[in-house]
Chains A and B, each alone.
Chain A
Amino acid sequence: MKHKSFLLLKVLLLSTGRRNQLKHCADKKKRRRIIGGIVGSVFLYLFLMVYSISVCIGYGYYGLIENAPTMCALIISILSFVLTFLKTNGYLFNFKEYDMLMSLPFRARTIAACKFLYMYLKSLPWYLSISVAMLAGYGFFARPGIAVYLLWLVLSFFLPLIPMLAATFFGFLIAKISAGFRKTNIIQTVLSVAFVLACLSLRFVFEDMLRENKVQQTLQSVSQATDSTARFYPPVGWFTAAVTKLSVPDMLLLAGVSALLFAAVFAIVGSAYRKLNSAIRANAAAKKNRSSTQKQRSAVNAVAFKEFKRFTGSTTYMVNSGIGVILASLFALICCIFGFERIIRLFIHDAPLTVDMLQPAIPFILYFLIGMLATTACSPSLEGKNYWIIQSLPLAKKTVYQGKMLFNLYLTVPFMLFSGICLCVSTKTPLPDTLLYLVLGVVLCAFSTAWGCVCGIRHMRLDWENEVEVIKQGAAVTIYLLPNMLVAMGLTVVSVILGMHMDHKLVAGIFILIAGILALLSYRRVMVLARRSDM
């Protein structure tokens, strides 16, 4: 008999694998969508590889190529930690086939470990894209022996394991703490966001410490740079030493610690797995909720309220879609308290930019965070199996999508206004400029809402197994998120440059006009798509 863990892992991969879907799908439209998804993923992998090679080329030209292994290990470690933390809840706890799996003769530990390995294998191509690309860059400049290539490739499989296990463990702890409260989802979201913020703050502490050690100078020496990084996170040091010095003990350390940590984490998670899942579900059944007053709403508002309940009903949804507004508000509040200049210097360091020059970028800085993930990009797909409810109601699709967009506006506009006012106060922006920036912020929210909805409708996917698949990995979200973030960064720079040569009010006015037109066009597109799906 095959090992049960292998069987479960195989079926988990098969159940979401595009190849399997393609093999058994007769619907031409669905097949096209699956193939489109594969092509899209390949493009994203290529994009990531190009970015990683560019980093290596940069290092190569400045004679710092020896730092490439450290950088590769760091990028993969940070990415795998953050991404795993944001999806642990959806994958490991409260998933829909929990009853089916738990009633089969699997140990709870086996189920939890297989869910983790599934998560690892699904995200491995991303990390390997970075690693292989950086190895190619490193190979081009450093001309290492064949053993380095082999070791680098083999150890790349281990690199994401320790951060992923750490993220899983923290996710488990948060779920365990939250399970004791009535509003499990809210507490879990608050704790998750607080944890992400704490990690972000650590980044600055870490950076300061490296600065104190005059990292600029030590970067000339591979061993010193490795030592500084390895002091804070040893696996990076092990990887670097293993591939640059062909150190067998370091190689064994990376592999051995990963394996030991895996066993330890799942011994702990497994022992509390059934209890924890039962507790999470028990809160829903505890009947401690009060019936609120019945209130009549318009159809659009009723859909928006439904969206709000869907949002607060899922930790994964709240953390991923809500983190942007929280980060923006905190950033603005901190700037208000400690001064914009002091905070912004942490990001731009010694760049020759004054507060006055940065003022026109305020709406875009906030948009980068607030518009990071519009709920409208995933909410059409999130209907999933409940799609029949919307379909069977006497509602035009136009109303449904208007409701979805309204919820995103309810979520983003107040935060945009609050953060905008805070930042304008902290930068001492004149009142007329402030008003224009606030208008621009709101228009940008409208654009992100409508554009997110276009992506959400065009790439709607209802047959998901786990909501993480549409919130974090869905085609709609990817197509919305990546270009939107890049454009927001680009516009931040462009607005600063324009602001140096033009009146700030004029710059804001131009952007209001452009963003307004784009928002209107996107909204019209939503309406066209809504009409089409009504027919």
Chain B
Amino acid sequence: MREQVMLDIRHYSKSYGKNNKAVDDISLQVMSGDIYGFIGHNGAGKSTTIRAVVGVLDFSEGEILIDSHSVKDEPIACKQVTAYIPDNPDLYENLTGLQYLNFIADVFGIDTALRKERITEYAALFEITDALGDPIGSYSHGMKQKVAIISALIHKPKLLVLDEPFVGLDPKATFTLKQIMHSMCQEGTAIFFSTHVLDVAEKLCNKIAIIKHGKIIAAGSMEELTQGHSLEETFLEADQ
């Protein structure tokens, strides 16, 4: 499969107020088939970057391209091929899980047969089939996270962006999600996700970027970065 740049962040900066630069001139590329981990402390600028990538946060400095489309100038083209799973998904609480998934499938124009097949498949994998008829408001955090994950997978995105995806998931669901991420990456999907769980990042990612105080302090392939050490050691060393 030919590698293609799916996410291209060029000199992106974001300031909150005049003196608080949350992200400072970061650049990185995520290719199709990459599982790219974005790690850093709380408040390092991970979510600010991710929210700009998925078109939620406005920015004036730098450029972000998804599948060669500019997030600023062609937001719809970018969002059409992207799926985003926030760290704390705010879903419509009074809709049932199924109603919500159907809404997302409608937005992406997935036909009835295909959506039925995918919802059935993923709901079974995440063991949430029986709960899909209940209102989302009655779900636990983990169950909401599962619905958000299924909604992101339902349209087979070219770029999957996840903000702390493993928070709140049970061990089985964490394993399932990792399996799904692997198989998506083999099919050419680019995955860009933030995490604090370094063990998971180490086992899952082929590329890593470490962000500190809004700046990327280390980035590259896992082998280049760790050079035989553990990711935890590499992270702590880079962090000093």
Partner-B contacts on A (CB < 8 A): 1-2, 4, 7-8, 11, 14-17, 20-21, 24-25, 96-100, 102-108, 182, 274-275, 277-279, 281-283, 285-288, 463, 465
Nearest-neighbour CB distance to chain A for B92, whole angstroms, equals 4
- Total cross-chain contacts (CB, 8 A): 104
Give every chain A residue within 8 A of B175 (Cβ-Cβ). Answer: none
Give every chain A residue within 8 A of B75 (Cβ-Cβ). Answer: 107-108
Nearest-neighbour CB distance to chain B for A292, whole angstroms, equals 19
- Is B84 an interface residue, CB under 8 A from the partner? yes
B109 near A24 with CB under 8 A, answer: no
Nearest-neighbour CB distance to chain A for B96, whole angstroms, equals 5
- Is B168 an interface residue, CB under 8 A from the partner? no
* CB within 8 Å for A99 and B93 given contacts A278-B57, A287-B17: no
Give every chain B residue within 8 A of A105 (Cβ-Cβ). Answer: 76, 79-80, 107-108
B137 near A463 with CB under 8 A, answer: yes
A465 near B56 with CB under 8 A, answer: no
B54 near A286 with CB under 8 A, answer: no
The range of chain B's interface size is: 35 or more
Most buried by A among B91, B94, B133, B137: B94
What are 5 contact pairs spanning A and B, CB under 8 A? A11-B95, A99-B51, A105-B76, A278-B58, A465-B94
> How far, in angstroms, from A8 to B16 measured CA to CA in the complex?
31
* CB within 8 Å for A102 and B55 given contacts A16-B94, A25-B135: yes
- Is B104 an interface residue, CB under 8 A from the partner? yes
B11-24 vs A, Cβ < 8 Å mask (1 yes, 0 no): 00000110010100
Partner-A contacts on B (CB < 8 A): 16-17, 20, 22, 51, 54-59, 75-76, 79-80, 82, 84, 86, 89-96, 99-100, 103-104, 106-109, 133-135, 137
Cross-chain contact of A104 among B22, B91, B107, B134 (Cβ < 8 A) = B107
Nearest-neighbour CB distance to chain A for B239, whole angstroms, equals 21
B108 near A286 with CB under 8 A, answer: no
> How far, in angstroms, from A191 to B56 measured CA to CA in the complex?
27
> How far, in angstroms, from A105 to B56 measured CA to CA in the complex?
11
B135 near A24 with CB under 8 A, answer: yes
> How far, in angstroms, from A175 to B223 measured CA to CA in the complex?
49
A21 near B94 with CB under 8 A, answer: yes
> How far, in angstroms, from A11 to B151 measured CA to CA in the complex?
15
Give every chain B residue within 8 A of A283 (Cβ-Cβ). Answer: 16-17
Nearest-neighbour CB distance to chain B for A97, whole angstroms, equals 5
Cross-chain contact of A1 among B20, B58, B109 (Cβ < 8 A) = B109
B95 near A7 with CB under 8 A, answer: no
B86 near A100 with CB under 8 A, answer: yes
> How far, in angstroms, from A282 to B21 measured CA to CA in the complex?
11
Cross-chain contact of B79 among A98, A104, A282, A465 (Cβ < 8 A) = A104
Give every chain A residue within 8 A of B22 (Cβ-Cβ). Answer: 285
The secondary-structure label for the interface of chain A is helix
Give every chain A residue within 8 A of B89 (Cβ-Cβ). Answer: 100
Cross-chain contact of A15 among B20, B79, B94 (Cβ < 8 A) = B94
Cross-chain contact of A282 among B16, B133, B134 (Cβ < 8 A) = B16
Cross-chain contact of B90 among A1, A2, A99, A277 (Cβ < 8 A) = A99
A106 near B107 with CB under 8 A, answer: yes
> How far, in angstroms, from A274 to B55 measured CA to CA in the complex?
9
Most buried by A among B20, B84, B103, B133: B103
* CB within 8 Å for A97 and B107 given contacts A21-B135, A105-B76, A286-B20: no
A104 near B104 with CB under 8 A, answer: yes
Give every chain A residue within 8 A of B95 (Cβ-Cβ). Answer: 11, 14-15, 20
Give every chain A residue within 8 A of B133 (Cβ-Cβ). Answer: 24
Give every chain A residue within 8 A of B51 (Cβ-Cβ). Answer: 99
Cross-chain contact of A2 among B59, B104, B106, B135 (Cβ < 8 A) = B106
Closest to A284 in B: B16
Give every chain B residue within 8 A of A100 (Cβ-Cβ). Answer: 86, 89-91
Give every chain B residue within 8 A of A287 (Cβ-Cβ). Answer: 16-17, 20
Give every chain A residue within 8 A of B58 (Cβ-Cβ). Answer: 274-275, 277-279
* CB within 8 Å for A7 and B108 given contacts A15-B95, A99-B56, A103-B54: no
Nearest-neighbour CB distance to chain B for A284, whole angstroms, equals 8
Contacts A16-B94, A105-B80 aside, 8 further interface pairs with beta carbons under 8 A come to: A1-B106, A8-B107, A14-B92, A14-B94, A98-B56, A106-B76, A107-B76, A282-B17
Nearest-neighbour CB distance to chain B for A366, whole angstroms, equals 40
Give every chain B residue within 8 A of A21 (Cβ-Cβ). Answer: 94, 135
Give every chain B residue within 8 A of A11 (Cβ-Cβ). Answer: 92, 95, 99-100, 103
> How far, in angstroms, from A278 to B55 measured CA to CA in the complex?
11
Closest to B82 in A: A103
Give every chain B residue within 8 A of A7 (Cβ-Cβ). Answer: 103, 106-107
A103 near B92 with CB under 8 A, answer: no
Give every chain B residue within 8 A of A465 (Cβ-Cβ). Answer: 92-94
